[in-house]
Amino acid sequence: MSYSDGTRAVHAGLPEKPAVGDPFLAGPVFAAPFHLDPVSGPGETNYARTEHPTRGALESAIAELEGAPTLVFSSGQAAITALLLSVLRAGDTLALPADGYFTVRAFAEGTLRELGVASLPVPTSGPYPDFSGVRLVLLETPANPGLDVCDITAVSAAAHAAGALVAVDNTAATPLGQNPLALGADVVVASGTKALTGHSDVLLGYVSSGDGVLLDKVETWRRQTGAVPGAFDCWLAHRSIATLDLRLARQTENAAAVATLLAARPDVTGVRWPGLESDPSYAVARAQMRRIPGIVSFDLGSAERVARFLTAAELVFAATSFGGVHTTADRRAQFGDDTAPGFVRLSCGIEDPADLVADLTAALDRA
């Protein structure tokens, strides 16, 4: 039977026929080595770096939502670097978002370039070049932090025609916002630290793909480098996925209210939220995404005004990252992002929409 997103999130990774007396979600298994058969040796679980029951349950949950086998990592950055280093070799070219996550771009321009891998920066909204000679096309949609959206199906078709693989960073959207594999991508990579787990208490990343050969390469990289999340983090993440649909619904509702407020204020510029009809990415986002994430970006003109705004706000925490249950905001330039001094990325939490709008209005007035 085909279930809705909310139902799928609640039951993701749980056994179809639970044993009487078992908990709904078993607690984390705190073990590194496990008992071996003294004759045959290895069993299904041997050593926590190579396999672990709590981690396996989380991977099953994410796999159900993304639509393909999944490997989890100790952070989103660990996941994406594992993918890149598993696929790319000296002489290859990587096409990546010119406006995407800053640390990935820095990794490409630093480590990958030193290993002989060339980078081809491409704006998320295009125009896109001829992908001839490109080994991997990495998309991030919506892009972080500017929130541009690209047509995954169209770009994947063009990349495949040129012989390139396509990976999509699905961090902002989450698998309940869009399923890149169903839209033509070969691989999904994401930070589960953000909205997927949503409580600001876990570092997590993952790679999902229906390409078994590719995923085996990534799994070998993880096994040999040891970039695995701990048991408690995996359990916290799995527990949190059950409320993903509910959290996203409120965050999207809040983002719509906040974006409408900001767009109407003459003292705020550059408002971006793909759910606004006036947003440049609205048409693509509406066609491609099942829901728009709760992230809004805008410009307050100066670092000083951003500081006054965040100081005045009572419901907005000054913090980096996004997707949590508390509304947060950060001035991206202070973290090395190549954004304007007054650029703000605001991540809507699950507060009451009226309260959040009133608090933002008062804080902007005071700022």
> How many other β-carbons are positioned within 10 Å of the β-carbon of residue 266?
5
Which one, of 72, 31, 61, lies nearest residue 219 by Cα? 72
Residues of the chain with CATH 3.40.640.10: 5-241
Residues of the chain with CATH 3.90.1150.10: 244-366
- CA distance linking residue 355 with residue 342, whole number of Å: 24
Q: Which two tokens stand for residue 220?
A: 């070998």
* pLDDT at residue 338, rounded to an integer: 84
244-366 has which CATH code?
Answer: 3.90.1150.10
Run means of pLDDT, 10 residues per run, the chain, 367 residues: 93 92 94 92 89 97 98 98 98 97 96 98 96 98 97 98 98 98 98 98 98 98 97 98 98 98 98 98 98 98 98 97 97 88 98 98 97
- CA distance linking residue 342 with residue 365, whole number of Å: 16
* pLDDT at residue 337, rounded to an integer: 83
* pLDDT at residue 44, rounded to an integer: 86
* pLDDT at residue 336, rounded to an integer: 80
* Domain spanning 5-241: CATH 2.130.10.10: no
* pLDDT at residue 256, rounded to an integer: 98
8 Å CB contact between 33 and 212: no
* pLDDT at residue 106, rounded to an integer: 96
pTM comes to 0.96
Distances (CA, A) of 210 to 71, 95, 173: 12, 21, 20
